[in-house]
Amino acid sequence: MFEKIKKNTELMWEYRELLWNLAHREISQRYKQSVLGYAWVIINPLIQMIVVSFVFSTILRIPSLGVPYIIFLSVALLPWNLFVSSLSSSAGVLVNNSSLITKIYFPREILVYATIIAKIVDFLYSCIVLVMFLIIYKISIHSSIMWVPLIFLIQMIFTIGLSLIAATFNLFYRDIQYVLNLILMLWMYLTPVMYPVEILPEKYRFVFSLNPMSVIVNAYRQVILGGGPPNLQSLSIALVMSLAIFVVGFYFFKRMEGKFADYV
Amino acid sequence: MNTIIAFENVSKTYNLQKQKTFKEFLPALVTRKETKTKLVALSQINFELEKGSSLAIMGRNGSGKSTILKLVAGVTKPNDGRVTVNGRVAPLIELGAGFHPELTGRENVYLNGSILGIKRKQMDKLYKGIVEFAELSDFMDEPIKHYSSGMYMRLAFAVAVAETPDILLVDEILAVGDTKFQQKCLARIKDFKKFGSTIIMVSHSFEQMRQNCQQGLVLTEGKKVFLGEINKALGAYQKLLD
């Protein structure tokens, strides 16, 4: 197994220029089209957050662990948006590039990776919103923020694994992406993005630890706003689950890869 | 001898899905309707090509011509038999497959180059030649959505033929573009032959096939009808059409 993944890593290194060029294509195609360009990646989440925080904080009065609700929300919502956009655009990426897939050989997972890289770039821009709020509300940051890269890595492993699966399924059945969008919407409500886990009685909270996204979202909150290390036990479970999903997704993708050109 | 492409008993069957969507697939599964149809694209094909040779593949639509090109390009695998390809394949199939309208000509050249496996450094060297060949030096910083279809075609062809490939696949693309540019393309293909490239061509034009290929392979419904000298092959194909 390690042999295969090692081989694939070498292959990716060989194709790094293609990976970068495809990611660059994804990024620039969006920003060249509209006058507002880069501003959209900031305006979109900003408006989304204002609306959500009006509904959940002002009307429903959801508690937010002693920080302004909008900050409580954005720490979780921005990574969640990255997860959703990566997954839903990966689902369509093979079909959208069918003209390449049927003509030229290259490792197909590059298309999925390039999409995700483009979404990470969007994510980084959208984080400006969070930084802005942190400054406005004068929230101080602790050294525990050093955990963020690790949490992000786990999120990426999980995202890539699921994206590979979604991309493959959608190639065979074109409407999987609509089913996926529905699932993602439900998934968001099952993940403590807009509310704290504490809203649920203690004895039911274990269900959150079965959902890697909820562990990840909680960990971000803990290290950015809570000022302490994340819950390492649930984070390890999330890591193991993410790795498992990645391995399954990767093998599934590679197994079906030879058939892509015949079905797309 | 220097065998560069070998097909040994190659068969290819497509399992075509009847249901393209999950919504259609689920009811079909429950009611036990057929979900797949089999389509034999190639059966028991044998041939070998030596380095520097050129082959024209002819046959009616759906006779398996494009499937052979796909197998050589490595985008699909045979169900049975073995395909051996030794060398870099440059597919001249559907030009500009990787082009993106929002990017400039220059960006598209680099993007398409990397899809074809040309490294950036190598591309820096080839770039000038590509622009010259495409005759587009004034337009390289324009997004290619502003290009005319002829300009688009020229740029795509120029990228595809920028580097001498071991194997060149040509799929009816020479039907587009003005006559002058067509001549230029054919001349470039002739140059490749001089440098030792192997060429596989799919075309409906007898004239092009006669001019560019030494050998011909005639297919009907995925089976080999004739393989041999080009004029005899064209004769066999003519008989098939009549």
pLDDT tens, position by position, A133-142: 999 998 888 8
Judge contact between B59 and B233, C-beta under 8 A: no
Selection from B103, B106, B112 nearest residue A33 by Cα: B103
Token couple for B156: 């795509």
Write down the pLDDT at residue B193: 87
Burial A123-145 (b: 16+ CB within 10 A, else e): bebbbebbeebbeeeeeeeeebe
**Averaged pLDDT, A27-44:** 77
Q: A49 falls in which pLDDT band (50, 70, 90)? A: very high
Please give the Cα distance from A256 to A169 (Å, whole number). 10
Q: What share of chain B is helix, strand, coil (3-state, %, to 5)?
A: 40, 30, 30
Average pLDDT over every residue of A119-127 = 93
Residue A121 pLDDT exceeds 90: yes
CA A32 from centre of chain: 24
Q: Which residue would you say has higher pLDDT here, A5 or A233?
A: A233
| Lateral strand order in the sheet of B223-229 | B89-92, B167-171, B198-202, B54-58, B215-220, B223-229
Provide the pLDDT for residue A110: 95
Alpha-carbon distance of A64 to A195, in angstroms, equals 7
Is residue A31's pLDDT more than 80?
Answer: no
CB contact (8 A) between residue B115 and residue A101: no
Sequence-distant (≥ 6) Cβ neighbours of residue A137 within 8 angstroms: A67, A68, A71
Q: pLDDT tens across A183-232, in order?
A: 999 999 999 999 998 888 888 888 888 899 999 999 999 999 988 899 99
So what's the ipTM on this one? 0.81
pLDDT of residue A33: 66
What chain B holds in terms of domains, given with CATH numbers, is 1-88+166-242 (3.40.50.300), 93-164 (1.10.8)
Residues lower than pLDDT 50 in chain B: none
Whether A163 has a pLDDT exceeding 90, the answer reads yes
In chain A, domain spans: 12-263
Contacts of B124 in chain A (CB under 8 A): none
Residue A175, helix vs strand vs coil = coil
Binding-site residues on chain B for chain A (CB distance < 8 A): 14-15, 17, 19-23, 25, 70, 73-77, 89, 91, 93-94, 97-98, 100, 102-103, 107, 110-111, 114-117, 119-120, 143
* Predicted pLDDT of residue B94: 61
